[in-house]
């Protein structure tokens, strides 16, 4: 493990680390914010999953989340969005390959050897984080766009591992929109049953035994709203299954980090209450 950055921030420290991932078989970078409370004992951890083309840098430099994490005593962990490196398969375009891991385990070549972001996020990364005595095993998860898809599906598939989940502008029905269809066909092949296992709307329809409440913010001026995000499909699925959902359409907001920065404080407060068991 190598610490690349160590910066004082709101009484705590914003670090960036590089470590070798056994699951992904490559070097990965991870942003970790330690609030001042971490000096006194273990703090709960909120995992942030970023969207297409992003790395850990987008969230830690643009969202302004550290202020609220310091207020509530929460460690923020922001990993990269995919495996990286010259030995890792890639593709032309921004929506497949490096920067577009989609938080699943690829079964198809040439992706299967490295693209195992689901296992990395659910198992390897928390084990690495929680080896630090500053971090507890009390977890929440949140994300944006592709990362919102990842946060929702991972939490729904692992409700006993996470106490809270929220998302900004998530791809809620990837099986029904171009971004998801392209990635799923490449990473998972033609088996639609495999697609459903990584589709928030389909998972909600299954009726998970322990229903984690979902908080979703979506800008109504988002350029991807109607073509890629389709939040109405999530609302319909939750209404049909009585799954608790708070879906807020925010007037005038787009898909950018200006939107995230405007509401990240409310999301961290939501997670803080759940992580405290309230």
222 given a catalytic annotation: yes
Q: What is the pLDDT of residue 211?
A: 81
Peptide bond into 168 cis (omega under 30): no
Q: What is the pLDDT of residue 207?
A: 81
Q: What is the pLDDT of residue 253?
A: 98
Is the model's pTM score more than 0.95? yes
CA angle 132, 135, 141 (to 5 degrees): 125
Close Cβ partners of 24 (under 8 Å, ≥ 6 residues apart): 83, 114, 115, 116, 117, 120
55 given a catalytic annotation: no
Residue span of the structural domain in which 197 resides: 2-276
Regions in the chain scoring below 50 on pLDDT: none
| DSSP SS3 for 190 | coil
* CATH number where 127 lies: 3.40.50.1820
Catalytic site residue from 222, 262, 267, 271: 222
> Rounded to an integer, what distance in angstroms lies between the CA atom of residue 49 and that of residue 145?
9
Q: What is the pLDDT of residue 1?
A: 86
* Segment 93-127, tens digit of pLDDT: 999 999 999 999 999 999 999 999 999 999 999 99
> Rounded to an integer, what distance in angstroms lies between the CA atom of residue 248 and that of residue 240?
18
- Domains held by the chain: number: 1
154 close to 103: Cβ distance less than 8 angstroms: yes
Catalytic site residue from 145, 164, 166, 262: 145
Q: What is the pLDDT of residue 210?
A: 65
Close Cβ partners of 257 (under 8 Å, ≥ 6 residues apart): 58, 62, 63
């Amino acid at each position: 493990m190598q610490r690349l950055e160590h910066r004082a921030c709101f009484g705590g420290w914003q670090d960036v680390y590089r470590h070798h991932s056994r699951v992904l078989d490559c070097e990965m970078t991870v942003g970790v914010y330690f609030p001042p409370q971490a000096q006194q004992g273990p703090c709960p951890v909120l995992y942030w999953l970023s969207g297409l083309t992003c790395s850990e840098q987008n969230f830690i430099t643009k969202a302004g989340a550290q202020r609220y994490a310091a207020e509530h005593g929460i460690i923020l962990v922001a990993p990269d969005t995919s495996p990286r490196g010259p030995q890792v398969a890639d593709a032309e375009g921004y929506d497949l390959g490096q920067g577009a891991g989609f938080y699943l385990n690829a079964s198809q070549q040439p992706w299967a050897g490295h693209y195992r972001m689901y296992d990395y996020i659910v198992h390897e990364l928390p084990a690495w984080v929680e080896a630090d005595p500053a971090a507890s095993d009390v977890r929440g998860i949140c994300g944006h766009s592709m990362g919102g898809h990842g946060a929702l599906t991972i939490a729904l598939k692992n409700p006993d591992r996470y106490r809270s989940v929220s998302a900004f502008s998530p791809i809620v029905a990837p099986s029904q929109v171009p971004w998801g269809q392209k990635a799923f066909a490449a990473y998972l092949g033609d088996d639609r049953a495999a697609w459903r296992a990584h589709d928030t709307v389909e998972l909600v329809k299954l009726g998970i035994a322990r229903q984690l409440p979902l908080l979703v913010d979506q800008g109504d001026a988002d350029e991807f709203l109607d073509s890629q995000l389709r939040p109405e499909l999530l609302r319909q699925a939750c209404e049909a299954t009585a799954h608790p959902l708070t879906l807020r359409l925010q007037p005038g907001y787009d898909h950018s980090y200006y939107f995230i920065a405007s509401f990240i404080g409310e999301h961290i407060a939501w997670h803080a209450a759940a992580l405290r068991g309230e």
